[in-house]
Amino acid sequence: MDNLWLYLVIGVGILAVGLGIGLNLLIGSRRKPTIEREAPPVRPAPRPAAPTEELERRPPAQQAPPTPVETAPAPEAPAPEAPVEAPAPTVERPESARGRLQRLRARLARSNTALGKGLLALLSRGHLDEEAWEEVEDTLIASDLGVEATTELVDSLRAQVKIEGTTDEATVRGWLREDLLRLVRPEMDRRIASSRVGDRPAVILVVGVNGTGKTTTVGKLARVLVAEDRDVILGAADTFRAAAADQLETWGARVGVPTVRSDKDGADPAAVAFDAVRAGIEEEVDVVIIDTAGRLHNKVGLMDELAKVKRVIEKQSEIDEVLLVLDATTGQNGLQQARVFSEAVDVTGIVLTKLDGTAKGGIVVAVQRELGVPVKLVGLGEGPDDLAPFDPEAFVDAILE
pLDDT at 333 over 70: yes
In this predicted model, what pLDDT tens digit does every residue of 292-305 receive, in sequence order? 987 665 566 778 88
Cβ atoms of 356 and 380 within 8 Å: the answer is: yes
Question: What is the spatial distance between Cα 292 and Cα 204, in angstroms, rounded to a whole number?
Answer: 11
pLDDT value for 359: 60
Confidence of residue 111 (pLDDT cuts 50, 70, 90): low
| Sequential DSSP letters for 157-190 | HHHHHHHH----HHHHHHHHHHHHHHHH-TTS--
pLDDT value for 243: 86
- Give the residue, 169 or 135, on which the prediction is more confident: 135
- Type of residue numbered 33: P
The percent of residues above 70 in pLDDT, for the chain, comes to 75
Binding residues: 208-215, 291-295, 353-356
pLDDT value for 40: 43
Average pLDDT, the chain: 80
103 to 188, 394, 395: CA distances (angstroms) = 22, 9, 11
pLDDT value for 297: 55
pLDDT value for 71: 46
The percent of residues above 90 in pLDDT, for the chain, comes to 37
- Give the residue, 20 or 39, on which the prediction is more confident: 20
pLDDT at 50 over 70: no
pLDDT value for 54: 39
Binding residues for GTP: 208-215, 291-295, 353-356
Question: What is the spatial distance between Cα 214 and Cα 206, in angstroms, rounded to a whole number?
Answer: 7
pLDDT at 158 over 50: yes
- Give mean pLDDT, residues 53-71: 44
Question: What is the spatial distance between Cα 219 and Cα 213, in angstroms, rounded to a whole number?
Answer: 10
- Give mean pLDDT, residues 176-201: 94
User: How much is the CA Rg of the chain, to the nearest whole Å?
Assistant: 54
- Type of residue numbered 265: D
Ranking 19-28, 52-61, 244-253 by mean pLDDT, the lowest is 52-61
pLDDT at 63 over 70: no
Confidence of residue 317 (pLDDT cuts 50, 70, 90): very high
The structural domains of the chain, ordered by start, are 112-184 (1.20.120.140), 202-399 (3.40.50.300)
Ranking 6-10, 301-305, 335-339, 380-384 by mean pLDDT, the lowest is 6-10
pLDDT at 112 over 70: no
- Give the residue, 157 or 12, on which the prediction is more confident: 157
pLDDT value for 13: 66
pLDDT value for 39: 43
Confidence of residue 265 (pLDDT cuts 50, 70, 90): confident
pLDDT value for 88: 57
pLDDT value for 357: 73
pLDDT value for 100: 81
Helix axes 300-313, 269-283, angle to 10 degrees: 20
